[in-house]
Structure 1
C-alpha cells in the first residue's frame, strides 16, 4: 500500500511538472526552443509503458501506475499538440 501511494504521488509530481511548460507555451505562443522529436520519443516511451500499465492493472496490480502514466500521456500529448500548433503559427 505504501509503495502504491508513493507511486501515485511521484507520478503525479512528474506529470504535473509539465504544466509550467504548457503555461509558458500558451503565454508566449513560442515553441522555437522545443524539440518535436524529443517529445515524440517521450510519447512513444510513455505509450509503451501505458500498455504495460494496462496489463498490470488487468492482473490486479498497478492501478497507481496506470493512473499516473495516463496523466503523463495526456500532458506530453498536449505539449506535442502545442508544438505542432505554434510551429505552424510561426511559419505563416
Structure 2
C-alpha cells in the first residue's frame, strides 16, 4: 500500500511538473527553444509504458502507475499540440 501511495505522489510530481511549461508556452506563444523531436520521443516512450500500464492494471495491480502514466501522456500530448500550434513556419 505504501508503495502505491509513493507511486501516486511521485507520478503526480513528474506529470504536474510539465504544467508550468505548458502555461508559459500558452502565455508567451513561444516554442522557439522547444524540440518537437524531444517531445515526440517522450510521447513514444510514455506511450509504450502506457501499454504496459494497461496490461498490469488488467491483472489488478498497477492502477497508480496507469493513472499517473496516463496523466503524463495527456500532458505531453498537450505540449506537442502547443508546439505545433505556436511554432513559426518558414
| Residues in 1 aligned to 2:21 and 2:46: alpha-carbon distance in whole angstroms | 18
Secondary structure of the structure 2 residue equivalent to 1:34: coil
Q: How does 1:74-89 map to 2 (within 5 A)?
A: 74-87=74-87
Structure 1 residue 58 corresponds to structure 2 residue 73: no
Aligned pair count?
90
RMSD across aligned positions (CA): 0.9
TM-score between the two structures when normalised by the length of structure 2: 0.97
- Using the TM superposition, give the Cα deviation of residue 91 of structure 1 relative to its aligned residue in structure 2, in angstroms: 3.0
Which residue pairs with 1:91 in the alignment? 89
Structure 1 ranges of 4+ moved more than 2 A: none
Return 5+ residue gaps in structure 1 as ranges: none
| Residues in 1 aligned to 2:89 and 2:62: alpha-carbon distance in whole angstroms | 43
- Using the TM superposition, give the Cα deviation of residue 21 of structure 1 relative to its aligned residue in structure 2, in angstroms: 0.3
TM-score between the two structures when normalised by the length of structure 1: 0.95
| Residues in 2 aligned to 1:14 and 1:85: alpha-carbon distance in whole angstroms | 24
